């Protein structure tokens, strides 16, 4: 059985390989290493899907809606968008929780969120990530459920929901740029 024949097998194999590399090649075995690794993996999933929505799906749906002779965007809205939104919103939760767990294990949770030195840079990133998590669960997801027909809504409500979700998603894209700078910069830039 080839694990690459399914996404589940691929992910499990990737996790096992990463754990083996961390344990035997890099020599990392402490709890914090695994938590930060989970944080980065979930963050890549979350922000990767955020960028997919803003750079690929939304423009493609606009083009499909303007193409009278084309197939339209129904397939994307019915099959791809709900699945992508599932990974998107839970990627956001796992990213935030694993980041908070790492800060707590480092005795930096309260100092980061109160922007105390020397962790104020990571604290700014944590606050930006918190705002982004709020946007995902309070603004984007409830409104996308209306747009996708998961929650009943009139055409006017769907149009308004599309605007709110779109604006929140664009806000998250904007916030992701300084958030990533803060997260990476807190460990790799001479601040």
Contacts of residue 72, Cβ cutoff 8 Å, sequence gap at least 6: 64, 65
The pLDDT mean for the chain works out to 91
Residue 34: per-residue pLDDT: 79
Residue 125: per-residue pLDDT: 95
Query: How would DSSP label each residue in the chain?
Result: --GGGSHHHHHHHHHHHHHHIIIIII---SHHHHHHHHHHHHHHHHHHHHHHIIIIIHHHHHHHHH-TTS--SHHIIIIIHHHHHHHHHHHHHHHHHHHHHHHHHTT-HHHHHTT-TTSHHHHHHHHHHHHHHHIIIIIIHHHHHHHTTSS---HHHHHHHHHHHHHHHHHHHHHHHHHHHHHHHHHHS--
In this predicted model, what pLDDT tens digit does every residue of 34-47 receive, in sequence order?
A: 788 889 999 999 99
Is residue 122 very low, low, confident or very high in pLDDT (cuts 50, 70, 90)? very high
Residues 167-172, mean pLDDT to the nearest whole number = 97
Question: Which range (5-14, 19-28, 69-78, 123-132) has the least confidence?
Answer: 19-28
> pLDDT at residue 30 above 90?
no
> pLDDT at residue 23 above 80?
no
Above pLDDT 70, what percent of the chain? 94
In this predicted model, what pLDDT tens digit does every residue of 48-74 receive, in sequence order?
A: 999 999 999 999 998 988 888 888 888
Q: pTM (2 decimals)?
A: 0.87
Residue 31: per-residue pLDDT: 63
């Amino acid at each position: 059985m080839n694990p690459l024949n399914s996404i589940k097998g691929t992910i499990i194999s990737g996790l096992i390989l990463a754990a083996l590399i961390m344990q035997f090649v890099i020599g990392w075995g402490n709890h914090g290493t695994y938590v930060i690794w989970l944080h980065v993996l979930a963050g890549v999933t979350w922000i990767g899907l955020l960028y997919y929505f803003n750079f690929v799906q939304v423009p493609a749906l606009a083009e499909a809606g303007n193409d009278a002779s084309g197939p339209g965007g129904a397939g994307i809205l019915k099959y791809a968008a709900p699945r992508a939104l599932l990974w998107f919103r839970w990627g956001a939760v796992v990213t935030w929780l694993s980041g908070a767990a790492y800060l707590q294990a480092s005795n930096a949770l309260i100092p980061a969120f109160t922007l105390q030195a020397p962790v104020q840079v990571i604290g700014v990133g944590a606050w930006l990530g918190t705002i982004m998590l709020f946007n995902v669960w309070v603004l984007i997801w409830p409104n996308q459920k209306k747009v996708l027909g998961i929650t009943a809504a009139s055409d006017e409500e769907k149009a308004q929901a599309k605007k709110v979700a779109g604006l929140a998603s664009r806000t998250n894209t904007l916030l992701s740029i300084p958030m990533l700078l803060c997260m990476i910069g807190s460990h790799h830039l001479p601040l």
